Amino acid sequence: MAQLQAPTEERAPGQHTHLGWALVLISIAQLMVVLDATIANIALPFIGNDLDIDLANLSWIVTGYSLAFGGLLLLGGRLGDLYGRRRIFMTGLVIFAVASLLGGAATNEGLLLGARGLQGLGAALASPAALALITTTFPAGPARNRAFAVYAAMSGAGAAVGLILGGWLTGTSLDAFGMSIDGWRLTFLINVPIGLVAAALAPRLLGESESHPGMLDIPGALTGTLGLLGVVFGLTRAGQAAHGWGDPWTIAALAAGVALLAAFAVIESRVSHPLLPIRIFQNRTRAASFVVMMLVPAAMFSMFFFLSLFIQNLVGYSPLRTGFAFLPFSVGIVIGAGLSSNLVSRIDPRYIAGIGTLLAGIALFGFSRLSIDDSPSHLITALTSGTPVGADVNYWTSILPYIVLMAVGMGLTFVPLTLTAVHHVRAEDSGIGSGVLNTMQQVGGALGLATLSTVSLHFTSSRAAELGPQLAAQAQQMGVPGDKIESLVSSATYLGAYTDGATNAFLVGSAMILLGSLVVWLFLDVKHDELATDGPEAGVHVG
């Protein structure tokens, strides 16, 4: 087993001279697939208007990508183990680039959502292969710790970079080939040259891994992916006022999703070549890492979704200014990742990740204290005068400190958890181990967004029911023309009620991260000096 981990068997001759460029290539690819989970957030209103997509379905542009990404990651990790990680990495990048081209050229809702699903497939092939290539390219110890710090920073900063890039591109247009290309389409098209160039450079900078021929667990892939789809669809539908928890399709989707996931668990325990080997979870620290990496991103990605809408729709920032409002997150997570990379060789991961999750939980609690003046008179006055209803929210004191705190907390959390999640995984399982880690992050994001959107919509609907009649009376009292009252009251009701929904979602998200912190403090017991060693952990039964 030790021979499988020897660098000479995992890297092409001479590849060690390209370690720096190899890390750049892997990081760019990872940044591309991660930022695509958020790059469309700021463009959502423009996409909805252009393609006539209603508000209830807009979230699927974000959720659909995360769901396809997360649902197929295990399959992607397994394919890398079986057929070579560089080959699967390149295949994923090409599929991602082609899907991005289709998304940028989409003319209706169906084509766009289909392209987002295909992007998710490409990301699911490329991302676990990228993480496994770091494991097999960089020797254990400081070099691998630094590489993981860069990878973790790209994974975390990608969400914020996506918002900045999305804000910039959404506010621009491009005249090419005799036609004008809308800004939101550029958020997809920008991936095409990046993905193709990265795929072309991979053979020059990355060595191919050994292949370990085996059977693909197709039943496991189908039941796992469809089960996740059913659960997320059910949760999303439950949060919509027109459907709710009692809707037959909501109940059917949730029941089918749970049943399929149960079938997935049974299949994985019985097949000879499982998509998700149970042995991956037999190490307590590794299992704890996976659980926390599901809970923490669930809250983090939801933060970007709700906060970007709050800043844009209520505080009144432009798309580009909204994107730059998240720039400190990118800086903070790089600082946190660098700090944790330096500390992880001297301090046990439990303390670094434990403090990081506590900081992130405090940050989300801070966001839950955001407030605007939602009195009917203020809302009507603001809308009739063209003033943002949340113009009095101070970004520097009410938002920025918590963005920075969240970013540093995420940087402190992601690096040690990435190391502990793939530490001592068998060589032939490194792809699937990486796939599980990424699956937890992406599935956590999809489930978190679906769950917290349900929470948000519940409180938004409750507050809207209170505000609606008051706003109608206030508009009449202020002499608003009768033909404008309906649209004015509708807009004012949404803006006045949104904060109530978002802040309650932040509060639940804070509880999710604090639960993850509890798991870290109780179960993450690997020592810092163990992370400098390679090979499967002695005494772990993998049969």
Query: How far, in Å, CA of 417 to CA of 286, rounded?
Result: 9
Among 268, 502, 528, which residue's Cα sits nearest to residue 372? 502
Is the domain of 124 the same as that of 231?
Answer: no
Is the domain of 79 the same as that of 169?
Answer: yes
Query: How far, in Å, CA of 55 to CA of 249, rounded?
Result: 19
**Average pLDDT over every residue of 521-525:** 90
Q: Which is it for strands 179-181 and 174-176: parallel, antiparallel or unpaired?
A: antiparallel
Is the domain of 12 the same as that of 145?
Answer: yes
Query: How far, in Å, CA of 11 to CA of 510, rounded?
Result: 42
Is the domain of 99 the same as that of 173?
Answer: yes
Q: Which residue has the higher pLDDT, 424 or 308?
A: 308
pLDDT of residue 177: 58
Is the domain of 68 the same as that of 163?
Answer: yes
> 128 by DSSP, 3-state: which?
helix
In whole angstroms, what separates CA 25 from the centre of its chain? 20
Is the domain of 58 the same as that of 166?
Answer: yes
Q: Work out how many domains the chain is built from and give that number.
A: 2
Is the domain of 198 the same as that of 224?
Answer: no
Boundaries of domain holding 398? 2-216+273-532
Quick check: is 323 in a domain?
yes
pLDDT of residue 525: 82
**Average pLDDT over every residue of 395-406:** 96
Query: How far, in Å, CA of 291 to CA of 472, rounded?
Result: 47
**Average pLDDT over every residue of 477-490:** 85
Q: What is the CATH number of the domain that holds 379?
A: 1.20.1250.20
pLDDT of residue 330: 81
Is the domain of 81 the same as that of 163?
Answer: yes
Q: Which residue has the higher pLDDT, 304 or 153?
A: 304
Is the domain of 489 the same as that of 527?
Answer: yes
Q: What is the DSSP string of 304-328?
A: HHHHHHIIIIIS---HHHHHHHTHH
pTM: 0.78
> 496 by DSSP, 3-state: which?
helix
- Report in angstroms the alpha-carbon separations of 188 from 98, 117, 191, 391, 409: 10, 13, 6, 31, 30
